[in-house]
Structure 1
Amino acid sequence: MGATIVEKIFSRKCGSDIRAGEVVMTPIDGAMIHDITGPLAIQKFHEMGGEHVFDPKRVIMLFDHQIPADSLEAAKIHQYMRTFAAEQGIHNYDINEGVCHQVVLEKGRAAPGEIMVGADSHTCMYGAVGAFATGIGSTDMGFALKFGALYFKVPETIRVEVSGRFQKCVGAKDLILAIAADIGADGATYQAIEFTGKTIEKLDMAGRMTCCNMAIEMGAKAGIVPPDKVTWEYMKGRRKMKPFDLASDDDATFAEKRTYNVADLEPQVAVPHNVDQGVPVSKVAGTHIDQVFIGSCTNGRYEDLKEAAEVLGKKKFHAGTRVLIIPASRDEYLKALENGLVERFVKAGALVEAPCCGPCMGGSFGLLAPGEVCLSTSNRNFKGRQGSTEAFVYLCSAATAAASAMKGEITDPREV
């Protein structure tokens, strides 16, 4: 009987044939902590008698949620984590690089076939390079920091096969919103979602990151794309490793198989207050918006910013709409800067901020007042996610966000 890509990854790590449903103590290749969940993980590490982390070189630390420190409490947390990093010999990216998930991939800290954990639910984004990556709680992270291993129940896999060619102004974000609407918020609970098919193979790494990032929004333990030429090209200069084959066998056992064709897919918008409430943009076109946020680990890459700039052209954003644009990392910011996108956005009326999570998690800046509406390229639109519990957040692609920001209302980017 064949094996899924997830079963193969666990079998390689454990040195034996591992199947979905088994509970195994498995070595990890890397552990990521940031300024929100990191402090509690460090506390748990000490409570478990931890003196030295399992391997400083495989612990990834950075600050991205509340940077620069926006309160005295945040400053104290940063100080606490900086001290821990210095004591343990951990390289701390600190406030300098950007959003954790983007930085982990850019710096080559996750690679095909590896098992990665992070104290953040969107750690599943690392599956874009063919890693098994999953978010864990701070207590589990404390254990992982000490022992370099963790108990896993190996998940079953839902295979998603995508075919067809995207229309203009339609892409990976629209696809994953449509898939989330189809599978549902809990339709993939504790399963892995494997993204395959000709359309996925043609997606660039930015699009693959978007899809894997949002696997958690269906309850999935992980999202993963089998490594191919696109993957290995991305890994060049990031990790010294020879390409190898890693894919599910044709006769592997899947929990479910789903197929999608994007040829007729319209731009999608997830309406408040759940990610799985995705509808074609035509269903909500004309809805007034107070703020547009283009950024986050889901859609803050150069490719997203370029897409927004192409829709914008030489026009300006609507005078009554606040537009916040936040690149996902310093590297992505520099690409946008060097190619004139930052200047273009600023002249159009946007605020372009330094790389960070920004309003995505609702704890720093760019918050919404009661009754306000935000159209966001981020990954969650839960009640209170970006400020007031009486505000409303819609999710969309960078193209839809830019088109809507120009008109001050939700707009189909194909019409701009």
Structure 2
Amino acid sequence: MGMTMTQKILAAHSGLESVVAGQLIEANLDLVLGNDITSPVAIREFNKIGCDCVFHKSKIALVPDHFTPNKDIKAAEQCKIVREFANSKEIENYFEVGQMGIEHALIPEKGLAVAGDVIIGADSHTCTYGALGAFSTGIGSTDMAAGMATGKAWFKVPAALKFVLTGCPTKYVSGKDVILHIIGMIGVDGALYKSMEFVGDGIKNLSMDSRFAMANMAIEAGAKNGIFPVDDLTIEFMKEHSTKEYKVYEADEDAEYEAVYEIDLSKVRPTVAFPHLPENTKTVDEICDKEVKIDQVVIGSCTNGRMEDLRTARDILKGKKVDPSVRCIVFPGTQNIYLQAIKEGIVTDLIKAGAVFSTSTCGPCLGGHMGILAAGERAVSTTNRNFVGRMGHVESEVYLASPAVAAASAITGYITNPEILD
């Protein structure tokens, strides 16, 4: 019986010739990741184990990004725990304020995730690195502690779903629209503990930034991981960024998939997820003009805080003005992205349009700081979740969208099809 791409990676890291869906394995880890919310819990559990040192100083990454720069005393104390642990254990990949970024934008940029890796992170959106052809998945803080101590983790080998992508997206359709379309199609539990494997000729028409956005939101369909095949674009990205060797795995022709979905990218429309689940999707064609009045727009996060996203927002907002009733907040994914946005004049253009350009942080995405919603307020956000109370008050509403839809909506004050602004 053939294996999927994910199954081949897991078999190789477990010292096995083959694995099958449902099999329990112990795999060697290439990277263990934590942030300022999840790492303190893992550190306390690590200390209970009684280890003097971590399994590998360069295979652990600690990124304080959720409540940093520290929003209050509690946040400062959390970050202090992480900082002191990193220093005492001589962890090489600790990213302090000034060097940090939103973790799932930063890790690929730093070359710490490459094709063929097995990566765990105490953050559900660790599945982002599947865009590079890695097996990466979110785990709990206790598993993070065990991973830091032993360099190993237990997994149940996931079954797989195949998504065959064909065609070329239209002008305002990005990976965010594609993954929202898929989640709307299969539901938030449609890939529960399964691997979402994206294949097909259409992949060549998706940028790396779009692929990162799609892999990032695999968890929103309940998936264990999302993964893309390694092509020339992937290799080009890794040659530019990577600090270590990569290995390409390909699915066998007779690999088993529980279901196969075919998606023509040319037919995917700009898509919005209405409250309060990512599966509650509508295309812009299904939303009436001025149907949804908004109070805030957020452009950024680990899903859509990369250069392609900022360029898209700039192209729509340049020379125009954010509606006076809307707060438009933009967060670059990393310091390097921030610098590039300055170099390209993006920061200037967005500020002139009436947006605020902030440092890299997860704050608004999880309702932590820098963009909290009050009762009754509505936000269009390029983030990845729109659960009840996700970005603030339980009576607020979050509408997930691409940077194009978000930027267009910031101008009109309503959820808007960017095509009408051309």
TM interval, shorter chain, is: over 0.9
Aligned to 1:2: 2
Aligned to 2:202: 199
Aligned to 1:270: 273
The superposition leaves residues 281-306 of structure 1 with CA deviations (integer Å, 9 ceiling, x where unpaired) of 23334210000000000001010010
CA contact (8 A) 1:217 1:275 kept: yes
Question: Distance between the aligned counterparts of 2:386 and 2:137, measured in 1?
Answer: 21
Aligned to 1:108: 111
Question: Distance between the aligned counterparts of 1:116 and 1:155, measured in 2?
Answer: 15
Aligned to 2:22: 21
Instruction: Give the letter for the 1:3 counterpart.
Output: M
Q: Answer yes or no: is 1:155 the counterpart of 2:158.
A: yes
Instruction: Give the letter for the 1:29 counterpart.
Output: D
Aligned to 1:309: 314
Alignment of 1:70-149 (within 5 A): 70-91=71-92, 92-96=94-98, 97-149=100-152
Q: Answer yes or no: is 1:297 the counterpart of 2:302.
A: yes
Quick one: structure 1 residues 146 and 244, their matched pair in 2 at CA, closer, same or farther if it must change by over 3 Å? closer
Quick one: structure 1 residues 105 and 240, their matched pair in 2 at CA, closer, same or farther if it must change by over 3 Å? closer
Question: Distance between the aligned counterparts of 1:133 and 1:243, measured in 2?
Answer: 14
Question: Distance between the aligned counterparts of 1:347 and 1:283, measured in 2?
Answer: 32
Instruction: Give the letter for the 1:20 counterpart.
Output: A
Question: Distance between the aligned counterparts of 1:33 and 1:241, measured in 2?
Answer: 20
Aligned to 1:58: 59
Q: Answer yes or no: is 1:11 the counterpart of 2:11.
A: yes
Once the two structures are overlaid, the 10-residue window that deviates more, 173-182 or 43-52, is 43-52
- Superposed displacement of residue 314, structure 1: 1.0
Once the two structures are overlaid, the 10-residue window that deviates more, 6-15 or 270-279, is 6-15
CA contact (8 A) 2:165 2:263 kept: yes
Gaps of 5+ in 2: none
Instruction: Give the letter for the 2:393 counterpart.
Output: S
Instruction: Give the letter for the 1:106 counterpart.
Output: E
- Superposed displacement of residue 62, structure 1: 1.3
Instruction: Give the letter for the 1:67 counterpart.
Output: T
- Superposed displacement of residue 20, structure 1: 1.9
The superposition leaves residues 233-264 of structure 1 with CA deviations (integer Å, 9 ceiling, x where unpaired) of 00014335666542111111112111111222
Q: Answer yes or no: is 1:318 the counterpart of 2:323.
A: yes
Query: Secondary structure in 2 aligned to 1:236?
Result: helix
Instruction: Give the letter for the 2:36 counterpart.
Output: D
The superposition leaves residues 302-357 of structure 1 with CA deviations (integer Å, 9 ceiling, x where unpaired) of 10010111122311111110000000111111111100000000011111001111
CA contact (8 A) 1:232 1:243 kept: no
Identity %: 41
Instruction: Give the letter for the 1:336 counterpart.
Output: A
- Superposed displacement of residue 76, structure 1: 1.1
Alignment of 1:133-282 (within 5 A): 133-239=136-242, 245-282=248-285
Q: Answer yes or no: is 1:334 the counterpart of 2:334.
A: no
Question: Distance between the aligned counterparts of 1:310 and 1:152, measured in 2?
Answer: 44
- Superposed displacement of residue 177, structure 1: 0.3
Aligned to 1:385: 390
Aligned to 1:67: 68
Question: Distance between the aligned counterparts of 1:199 and 1:329, measured in 2?
Answer: 28
Question: Distance between the aligned counterparts of 2:27 and 2:265, measured in 1?
Answer: 37
Once the two structures are overlaid, the 10-residue window that deviates more, 250-259 or 132-141, is 250-259
The superposition leaves residues 75-97 of structure 1 with CA deviations (integer Å, 9 ceiling, x where unpaired) of 11111111111110013102232
Gaps of 5+ in 1: none
Question: Distance between the aligned counterparts of 1:58 and 1:323, measured in 2?
Answer: 37
- Superposed displacement of residue 116, structure 1: 0.1
Query: Secondary structure in 2 aligned to 1:86?
Result: helix
Quick one: structure 1 residues 39 and 244, their matched pair in 2 at CA, closer, same or farther if it must change by over 3 Å? closer
Question: Distance between the aligned counterparts of 1:273 and 1:284, measured in 2?
Answer: 16
Query: Secondary structure in 2 aligned to 1:358?
Result: coil
**Structure-2-length-normalised TM-score:** 0.96
Question: Distance between the aligned counterparts of 1:268 and 1:248, measured in 2?
Answer: 30
- Superposed displacement of residue 163, structure 1: 1.0
Question: Distance between the aligned counterparts of 2:334 and 2:318, measured in 1?
Answer: 24
CA contact (8 A) 1:63 1:95 kept: yes
Question: Distance between the aligned counterparts of 1:245 and 1:145, measured in 2?
Answer: 25
The superposition leaves residues 115-161 of structure 1 with CA deviations (integer Å, 9 ceiling, x where unpaired) of 00000000000101000000000111111111110110010111111
CA contact (8 A) 2:317 2:349 kept: no
Question: Distance between the aligned counterparts of 1:237 and 1:206, measured in 2?
Answer: 15
Question: Distance between the aligned counterparts of 2:118 and 2:54, measured in 1?
Answer: 17
Q: Please point out which of 366, 371, 382 is paired with 2:371.
A: 366
